[in-house]
Chain A
């Protein structure tokens, strides 16, 4: 069993690496066939005031005079060694630029995810246990409401209410605790909607299963039924949904960072796009691919640990723990 899991994990890991490399090559190709020549646009832009010799130096340093395939292979091998090149705009290493802003974004994204999970759980719990007179039915409409409000609107409302009116945080200090807290709420609300939607549907489905009735026939109360029986099988698909919403989390933090004035990956991307700073863009897109692949890898690795029924890819089928005394399980496998 243990070995089977390790084989499975190793296979998944290899697949993840391959996907990341492909994603890198893909972004490289897309960036290089984009219309507009970065050399003309950025370097020869009179506003930047580079001299012709400086331009020659930069071109040589970045290897922009080489054939595209050679550029790709240098770029790829640099990527593999963790060297993401120099920013065209600032001439500083891209890794440094990203390292400066990444923590802020990571804090925001994980806080946003945490908010989304808590909110989803609260909504799901409420749809089952909130007394009808306190709006149990209304709660079921929350997810679609959350989904239909764009998160910058939520952000602006939160800034207005808690920043300006209540004075809980100062807008010019975007990295303070409360500012981060409300930014996370703005980011988390639309994502919580998707998770809650899946969770509610699954809880409904699981609570209609025969095992739920049988568990209740053992004198199990509603609370325990929810916590010990329904929640785990209902959260299995949530793992997949979380993995899928990571893209949204990244995109959402871009907007949220702008609204709350945070200096994160979002603002870096924004600056780099306007200045066509290709090495930075290439690095950020690759980073997004890496995050996406990693999160899905984690989801794949966690899933079999949560659900004992999942058959591991490439692992031999498990035998029944004990053989039935009266029927031939072995041939059942064959004929059913």
Chain B
């Protein structure tokens, strides 16, 4: 039995707040809350209520002000942030209290679970020292008892070997373990309200599910109210009783989860809903169908990409680690093959081998009939023209000092293709292909939105007119609605230009929307492969089943997706 399944009743000798006779009133009541940084107002007139023992999700995209609201509740706004309006917690006016009076509430009554577990613990102090700070909030004079309390909490949140965790430094633990520690520390003093700011966005899907399960269970058993901040509508649908949808700091819609999902009233909520892959598996069916037809007819033809039992090992600390172990797959021309797995599964190494950035120890790779393995760097250059890559994070993959025109033209310059005039024509053509206008040519990346940046990155790979694009988590750094735009661009490019994609992702819902064939990787091996329908409707490997189970889905709670809005193709991006 997994350790996190044995959540016993809490034997602490502190009073359980659930029994207090104050169930009638709301625990948290926010009215007319506005937050500004200097002259810039980021939250405007927000109001909602959260009852005791209930859960509420604040959802919205980056910049919607959801995290700011969470921090305003905890009075932890970053320097210069000013909150006005009313935040009432347990009958007390949060904004009106003196720092001294409010500090007593922090930790004891208001728990906080942060977004990025890797940066949320002091890196140069042991976890034990920091845990004892949380334990100090419990009225318990004996240090030994408080330490026992900490260890017990660690066990409760599913950490094996609590003693060892206690003595560790944060960098010695994985993100999932750190998030368990942080949740443990937040619930240890038995707060009345837990504010969880994107508690799982930095974690792998299967760990995400366990962490969310843990939160839900603690919330239920300890009767804690949960304020969940998330960008993921599917998570909100699954975990929260009511929703507040935010955009640009303004509430778009609020209500019970069921009603917001069943009949979203605001246009924004409808759009958000339609953009979530997990809720709309067939959204791009029309765009994807040509690929499926190719898949059927290309059974005999030579595949565009052929990876034949490649193996790659690395020596770490004198030990040999097999990062990729006997991996094989083929991708017919014009289709999308998805490599799916969690961090450490070997996806990244596999695509590095496919791109010829590393050489496999064993096995062969060929692209468009050309052998990639065992070739010199110079002869690989010829292949690279037909094999381009789009990276994960457009905020770091584009040189911030270059203009869009230079960025997109660079591959042409490197490969010395065409005259100056031809190059500039091809740059314009590539930009048009991704739906960007010529007015952006002289912009630098900082003056572009995230979606525009990733379009520039795609244009940059398209400018060489490659046959194959390797897409390394191309949307994971982007908001859902932007993600939907990029997916649409990619799929329509495939339909028009007949591109072959290798798509690397940990997001199974997204894979389901756009891939034709799928390989599921675990610990360097392919544990299962097949068409999207095979994998998603009829998974065989236990690991695939557990991955599929981890997809948060509003469908699980019986909420059906509303009808999709019409497809928009090649929508010109508005200038921000």
Contacts of B227 in A (CB 8 A): none
Answer whether residue A52 sits at the interface, using C-beta atoms and an 8 A cutoff: no
- With beta carbons under 8 angstroms apart, the residue of B103, B121, B161 that contacts A221 is B103
Q: Which residue of A lies closest to B323 (CB)?
A: A334
Q: B344–A214 contact, CB under 8 A?
A: no
Q: A218–B185 contact, CB under 8 A?
A: yes
Q: B168–A321 contact, CB under 8 A?
A: yes
Q: A321–B317 contact, CB under 8 A?
A: no
Given the interface contacts A306-B124, A332-B344, does A213 sit within 8 Å of B114 by beta carbon?
A: yes
Answer whether residue B523 sits at the interface, using C-beta atoms and an 8 A cutoff: yes
Interface size on B, residues (CB 8 A): 70
Q: Which of B130-138, B266-274, B401-409, B424-432 contacts A (4 or more CB under 8 A)?
A: B130-138
Answer whether residue A92 sits at the interface, using C-beta atoms and an 8 A cutoff: no
B contacts, CB < 8 Å to A: 2-3, 71, 74, 76, 78-79, 103-108, 110-112, 114-116, 119-125, 129-130, 133-134, 137, 158-161, 164-165, 167-169, 171-174, 176-177, 182, 185-186, 204, 206-207, 210, 314, 316-318, 321-323, 342-349, 523-524
Q: B119–A210 contact, CB under 8 A?
A: yes
Q: B567: shortest Cβ distance to chain A, in Å?
A: 36
Contact residues of A between 184 and 243, Cβ < 8 Å to B: 208-211, 213-221, 228-229, 232-233, 236
Given the interface contacts A233-B124, A322-B173, does A327 sit within 8 Å of B204 by beta carbon?
A: yes
- With beta carbons under 8 angstroms apart, the residue of A217, A228, A229 that contacts B110 is A217
Q: Which residue of B lies closest to A207 (CB)?
A: B79
Q: Which residue of A lies closest to B162 (CB)?
A: A322
Distance between Cα atoms of A317 and B159 in the complex (Å): 23
Answer whether residue A320 sits at the interface, using C-beta atoms and an 8 A cutoff: yes
Q: B317–A327 contact, CB under 8 A?
A: no
Q: A215–B122 contact, CB under 8 A?
A: yes
Given the interface contacts A208-B78, A215-B133, A217-B112, does A335 sit within 8 Å of B348 by beta carbon?
A: yes
Q: B206–A326 contact, CB under 8 A?
A: yes
Q: B344–A335 contact, CB under 8 A?
A: yes
Q: B171–A309 contact, CB under 8 A?
A: yes
Contact residues of A between 57 and 113, Cβ < 8 Å to B: none
Q: B122–A327 contact, CB under 8 A?
A: no
Interface centre among A215, A306, A329, A331 (most CB of B within 10 A): A331
Chain A to chain B contacts (Cβ below 8 Å), 5 pairs: A214-B112, A217-B76, A217-B111, A221-B103, A332-B344
Distance between Cα atoms of A316 and B318 in the complex (Å): 9
Q: A331–B523 contact, CB under 8 A?
A: yes
Q: A200: shortest Cβ distance to chain B, in Å?
A: 14
Given the interface contacts A218-B185, A332-B343, does A209 sit within 8 Å of B168 by beta carbon?
A: no
Distance between Cα atoms of A326 and B177 in the complex (Å): 9
Q: B316–A317 contact, CB under 8 A?
A: yes
Given the interface contacts A209-B119, A334-B349, does A327 sit within 8 Å of B137 by beta carbon?
A: no
Q: A331–B173 contact, CB under 8 A?
A: no
Distance between Cα atoms of A308 and B170 in the complex (Å): 10
Interface centre among A211, A232, A308, A335 (most CB of B within 10 A): A335
Contact residues of A between 280 and 336, Cβ < 8 Å to B: 306-309, 316-318, 320-322, 324-336
Apart from A318-B172, A322-B160: 13 A-B pairs, beta carbons within 8 A: A211-B121, A217-B114, A218-B107, A218-B130, A221-B103, A325-B2, A325-B158, A327-B204, A329-B174, A331-B321, A332-B344, A334-B316, A334-B321
Contacts of B110 in A (CB 8 A): 217
Q: Which residue of B lies closest to A332 (CB)?
A: B344
Q: Which residue of B lies closest to A318 (CB)?
A: B172
Q: Which residue of A lies closest to B100 (CB)?
A: A221
Contacts of A208 in B (CB 8 A): 78-79
Q: A322–B177 contact, CB under 8 A?
A: yes
Interface centre among A209, A210, A218, A333 (most CB of B within 10 A): A218
Q: B122–A233 contact, CB under 8 A?
A: yes
Contacts of A228 in B (CB 8 A): 125, 129
Contacts of A308 in B (CB 8 A): 123-124, 169, 171
Q: A336–B343 contact, CB under 8 A?
A: yes
Contacts of A220 in B (CB 8 A): 133
- With beta carbons under 8 angstroms apart, the residue of B116, B137, B186 that contacts A210 is B116
Distance between Cα atoms of A309 and B123 in the complex (Å): 8
Distance between Cα atoms of A316 and B137 in the complex (Å): 39
Q: A326–B349 contact, CB under 8 A?
A: no
Q: B314–A321 contact, CB under 8 A?
A: no
- With beta carbons under 8 angstroms apart, the residue of B106, B122, B316 that contacts A211 is B122
Distance between Cα atoms of A174 and B165 in the complex (Å): 56
